[in-house]
Structure 1
């Protein structure tokens, strides 16, 4: 009967004698004419033969105690993250007579738990702390085979390559870096062959995933701290090419003109996020780092990024200042924009809180980083998103906006990622590119990101991590480069806690956040905004701007505007369109706003009060009322007539309303 590969994951006790016979024939280089040897085992045997592994080898080689301590220090984070999972395995398998082990990426045992009796038996073959169980030195075994294949595996009894190991059974699963999916280590459960159980493989796989999740959580928290500490450097060195690396030397973020850096210094940069730059792993000794560091990395370019807990990573600053001085086009758009062409000029207001928000937005615009806009509905999130795009490096590219809360799950998926021809009934012939593809080279604005369905969030996360999009119904990967700006009026941290939003996606989106003020937090801007809308509506309806009854402005100032600027614009346009003459009066106010206005006094100018020269306060009061009346309620004109600022005028009006001196002010 011809030999057949057996591809089952779990070894079978019934195959033990068959495997023993096949192993003997394999060593004698005879044809294998019996069934029962699994594909993963035979492939390992063949590797052992090519590496000339001695099948009579008694035990695995061991590392010296000092070397073991060094490996434990180098893998300290892995050991810490694995401890809860290993303790959980120990509790479950306490009565099973097994050893629970954590190994590094080279197969050396870093930690070991188990009963004294089993440990003693394991030490006979150096299945102990410091033992090296790489396939190349001790043949087929779960630890070494998992390292080679990058997959979980269970090896039982005669499936081992070396004779003295055949009395054991073991199951192991690789632990992969959650950031770049490289191998970090292996978790293994081993025992004498009588302890074989099919569930053991599932337990080690679950333990490995638990360790990866814990490492991912630590990575996200550390990268968030790293980005927070490094954000000022992105602004400070905005004209240079920056590479931000974490403590292991992995690229977390890049910013600036990579082509200019290559041309200026003849560099071959590792630009892909997740790539590791040799010699920048802070776990290595300074001597090792210097030896491994590429020649193109100049020491003066390296800047440590620290916080109160120590060094978080490294900022690699490749200076391009001289090149930028020669060619102004390389300057960040936020710096190169002429004063009269302010990208944030459409955002109306002069309040201190708005000016501070715009100043921060200008600094953020120069950075090619994801931005999360936080604010209430109608606070102007899309206006800020467009301004960030115009002031950024990608102003020549498209600006594409998508409201995640306005589409069903299916429509949102096809809108974002596109679809292939025949992906679903009614799909357009030839397929359709999604918004990510349409925004390539520019900015994609995802409004109401908190409304995105939970099951769609991993797909968005993959695009952000890998920079590739796969259309619905297609297998082809399309590379995209977009700057992502998101917005929400939800508290995403609470959504994460409630399990409605992925924590890893939240940290990807919230590299930089921008809190937009509500309209009620800047009441001094209301008159300027209304004046802007007045001129805008006049152009729209083909007429002159209209005058406002002072009581209308008072009502506007008294109302809380839960819908913010959007609500103010809608209310004002309706009042403008419905007003028959040149004056907008209180009869046009919506009831909630009119009700708010009744809590403030109204100004009546029907009967002018003659000035009393014996009372300065009365003279000031009357001058203010006359100025407002002569200006037909235009507070800016009244303030100019009086020679005071609008804010001073409103303060004085408030004092008049609080202590009326005559019949012209009533409540």
Structure 2
């Protein structure tokens, strides 16, 4: 038989006898000169020979029930997305006597449906949930061959490599990750060989494409949400190397100097968009991720990103310039660099409350006492902690930071106290020192101390009292000497009264309390901070500082800044980056700030002023003011009322504000 048929996708029933003869000759290592074996099948047979697959193997190996459940959890997204496509296949093939299957990337069957009679027959060769149909173990078959080739394939009867599988026919198509095109799984339709249909391969290909499209849609939606949550981190850690990783451990975006990160921390990992970080695949059990986490990946670098639907991914922040990690306080109007001998020089501000906090911190720094930093999120607690360390007697020793709110109880315990070799499955050879040991002689900064689990607090108290650390799984005591600085945005005294925080630990940590003022408590510093940020962004983006529209400046001064200086910096950089010329106008205000501005008590609520007869411009002007007033400052609603886009409305507002008008009082109330 000529080779013209050997490359086709669809097998032919008429070739069964020829293929059977070729298989026997192949097992006898005889040449197959003009045998009618398709190229995809022959290549698979050759792989089976190289892997020493036993052609007499009666069935595929199976996974234990618990392992199957674990694989289903690992592939929960795939299983969820595939369900409608598999149900459609089942409806189409209901009368064909076939099994419809979804397999993972290793060929293990995760889901299977079909009529009972066919399922019973399939179980004889373990064509059932948990069966592993990888080529390496069960030879040529549609599932395993599709995995190896990465392409759809149909394998019929004698084309199978193992004898007991030859009574089956099957068609399979790979499911590829829309993001990086890696293999996620396989859709397969199998039946006894009499059920062969040429259209089956087309059906499984269509099902696989349907699954890929839905996965892609979900990926796009999740990545949009992830990037929205991550923008603050990219801005906040602009001087560091930042890696954004989605919930499946795939690198979505990076920012910063990758080469500097590799050289500073001797990183061997490829930190490029599209590459995989299995240790941050959130579908995997946390214990597995922790045990396999590489030594270079420090837990304090990990920042989980969440929204209302749960954890979206992880931001890995690899510090490159410690002094710029948290630019929470800006430079004075002179934009001079603080003196290098002033540890508190980076904490900029001339308000009395900030001066008082800095003066108290300077006095406390040299006393080597435990300090509890109290302040709202974004008020600069870590910046103060680092300044206390640099100004204290331990400045030459390590400063080690741990975020108590970012780790589970088990991970936090091992991070703080370390563990011995063999303490648990996957523990590193030789064990691992904890943060107390790493900070020995220096400063240990425990951020978000109020989040520490109650049952862990006695262990921390003992170390603080005795100066002795015992690693998990060990009996040896190790003496440590650290200065303790803790921080929280909670009222710890209330936590103590509520029974959520130990009173003895509270008193041990709060030898000295240092209250950091919120930004709204020092509004006089806002203009100085904004001016510094303007110059800083100009240097970063390689352009001249930009001029702020007076309305923007007033909005920044009037806003309450619940996220404090961190929120101010993030908001300003976004406006700076999005402005297309040398002016930051009111249209660039973040929605939260703009909404607060327009809904403030100063917004007009009285009846609109009748329009004057000054022409069309005055009528348009008054219509805009009236629409904003009726919408109670909601700019989107006002734009819809006027029948224009919101951006057009902002442009018209800016023009109105720049022109003198008779009803200036109304304009002032709206644009204040």
TM-score by length of 1: 0.54
Cα distance 1:345–1:152, how it changes in 2: closer, same or farther (>3 A)?
same
**Structure 2 residue aligned with 1:221:** 221
**Structure 1 residue aligned with 2:165:** 165
1:562, distance to aligned residue in structure 2 (A): 12
**Structure 2 residue aligned with 1:109:** 109
Q: Find the residue that maps to 2:83 and give its secondary structure.
A: helix
Instruction: Tell me the alpha carbon deviations over residues 374-401 of structure 1, each in whole angstroms, 9 at most, x when there is no partner.
Output: xxxxxxxxxx33559x9xxxxxxxxxxx
Does residue 363 (structure 1) correspond to residue 580 (structure 2)? The answer is no
**Structure 2 residue aligned with 1:155:** 155
Does residue 335 (structure 1) correspond to residue 536 (structure 2)? The answer is yes
1:553, distance to aligned residue in structure 2 (A): 9.1
The answer as to whether partners of 2:99 and 2:112 remain within 8 angstroms in 1 is: yes
Q: Find the residue that maps to 1:250 and give its secondary structure.
A: strand
Instruction: Tell me the alpha carbon deviations over residues 187-209 of structure 1, each in whole angstroms, 9 at most, x when there is no partner.
Output: 00000111111100000000001
Separation (CA, whole Å) in 2 of partners of 1:219 and 1:118: 36
Separation (CA, whole Å) in 2 of partners of 1:123 and 1:257: 55
Q: Find the residue that maps to 2:101 and give its secondary structure.
A: strand
Say which one has the larger Rg. 1
1:37, distance to aligned residue in structure 2 (A): 0.6
**Structure 2 residue aligned with 1:177:** 177
The answer as to whether partners of 1:108 and 1:132 remain within 8 angstroms in 2 is: yes
Alignment of 1:34-183 (within 5 A): 34-183=34-183
Instruction: Tell me the alpha carbon deviations over residues 604-650 of structure 1, each in whole angstroms, 9 at most, x when there is no partner.
Output: xxxxxxxxxxxxxxxxxxxxxxxxxxxxxxx99xx9xxxxxx79982
The answer as to whether partners of 2:232 and 2:570 remain within 8 angstroms in 1 is: no
1:235, distance to aligned residue in structure 2 (A): 2.5
Does residue 651 (structure 1) correspond to residue 660 (structure 2)? The answer is no
Does residue 27 (structure 1) correspond to residue 27 (structure 2)? The answer is yes
1:262, distance to aligned residue in structure 2 (A): 2.9
Separation (CA, whole Å) in 2 of partners of 1:274 and 1:562: 51
Coordinate RMSD, CA, aligned? 4.3
Q: Find the residue that maps to 1:222 and give its secondary structure.
A: helix
Cα distance 1:64–1:332, how it changes in 2: closer, same or farther (>3 A)?
farther
Cα distance 1:201–1:386, how it changes in 2: closer, same or farther (>3 A)?
farther
Separation (CA, whole Å) in 1 of partners of 2:582 and 2:10: 59
Separation (CA, whole Å) in 2 of partners of 1:156 and 1:175: 21
1:24, distance to aligned residue in structure 2 (A): 0.6
Cα distance 1:350–1:26, how it changes in 2: closer, same or farther (>3 A)?
same
Separation (CA, whole Å) in 1 of partners of 2:68 and 2:256: 42
Instruction: Tell me the alpha carbon deviations over residues 543-563 of structure 1, each in whole angstroms, 9 at most, x when there is no partner.
Output: xxxxxxxx9998655445999
Cα distance 1:513–1:78, how it changes in 2: closer, same or farther (>3 A)?
farther
The answer as to whether partners of 1:238 and 1:332 remain within 8 angstroms in 2 is: no
Alignment of 1:387-536 (within 5 A): none
Does residue 191 (structure 1) correspond to residue 191 (structure 2)? The answer is yes
The answer as to whether partners of 2:236 and 2:570 remain within 8 angstroms in 1 is: no
Q: Find the residue that maps to 2:580 and give its secondary structure.
A: helix
The answer as to whether partners of 1:176 and 1:184 remain within 8 angstroms in 2 is: yes
The answer as to whether partners of 1:278 and 1:294 remain within 8 angstroms in 2 is: no
**Structure 2 residue aligned with 1:345:** 546
Separation (CA, whole Å) in 1 of partners of 2:273 and 2:38: 38
Cα distance 1:142–1:334, how it changes in 2: closer, same or farther (>3 A)?
farther
**Structure 2 residue aligned with 1:613:** none
1:219, distance to aligned residue in structure 2 (A): 1.3
Cα distance 1:61–1:359, how it changes in 2: closer, same or farther (>3 A)?
closer
The answer as to whether partners of 1:19 and 1:158 remain within 8 angstroms in 2 is: yes
**Structure 1 residue aligned with 2:12:** 12
Q: Find the residue that maps to 2:248 and give its secondary structure.
A: coil
**Structure 1 residue aligned with 2:458:** none
The answer as to whether partners of 1:247 and 1:280 remain within 8 angstroms in 2 is: yes
Cα distance 1:654–1:247, how it changes in 2: closer, same or farther (>3 A)?
closer
The answer as to whether partners of 2:243 and 2:251 remain within 8 angstroms in 1 is: yes
Instruction: Tell me the alpha carbon deviations over residues 29-50 of structure 1, each in whole angstroms, 9 at most, x when there is no partner.
Output: 1011333110000000000000
Separation (CA, whole Å) in 1 of partners of 2:255 and 2:109: 40
Instruction: Tell me the alpha carbon deviations over residues 414-470 of structure 1, each in whole angstroms, 9 at most, x when there is no partner.
Output: xxxxxxxxxxxxxxxxxxxxxxxxxxxxxxxxxxxxxxxxxxxxxxxxxxxxxxxxx
The answer as to whether partners of 1:261 and 1:267 remain within 8 angstroms in 2 is: yes
Cα distance 1:7–1:652, how it changes in 2: closer, same or farther (>3 A)?
closer
**Structure 2 residue aligned with 1:320:** 320
Cα distance 1:558–1:654, how it changes in 2: closer, same or farther (>3 A)?
farther
Does residue 262 (structure 1) correspond to residue 262 (structure 2)? The answer is yes
Q: Find the residue that maps to 2:253 and give its secondary structure.
A: strand
Cα distance 1:345–1:25, how it changes in 2: closer, same or farther (>3 A)?
same
Cα distance 1:93–1:555, how it changes in 2: closer, same or farther (>3 A)?
closer
Structure 2: which 5+ residue stretches go unaligned? 328-335, 338-531, 560-567, 599-611, 625-656
Paired residues in the alignment total 408
1:143, distance to aligned residue in structure 2 (A): 0.2
The answer as to whether partners of 1:53 and 1:138 remain within 8 angstroms in 2 is: yes
Separation (CA, whole Å) in 2 of partners of 1:212 and 1:258: 32
Separation (CA, whole Å) in 1 of partners of 2:189 and 2:145: 14
Separation (CA, whole Å) in 1 of partners of 2:205 and 2:294: 37
**Structure 1 residue aligned with 2:241:** 241
Alignment of 1:582-593 (within 5 A): none
Cα distance 1:3–1:366, how it changes in 2: closer, same or farther (>3 A)?
same
Q: Find the residue that maps to 2:254 and give its secondary structure.
A: strand
Cα distance 1:73–1:653, how it changes in 2: closer, same or farther (>3 A)?
closer
Separation (CA, whole Å) in 2 of partners of 1:58 and 1:74: 29
Cα distance 1:351–1:46, how it changes in 2: closer, same or farther (>3 A)?
closer
**Structure 2 residue aligned with 1:413:** none
**Structure 1 residue aligned with 2:580:** 385
Q: Find the residue that maps to 1:274 and give its secondary structure.
A: coil
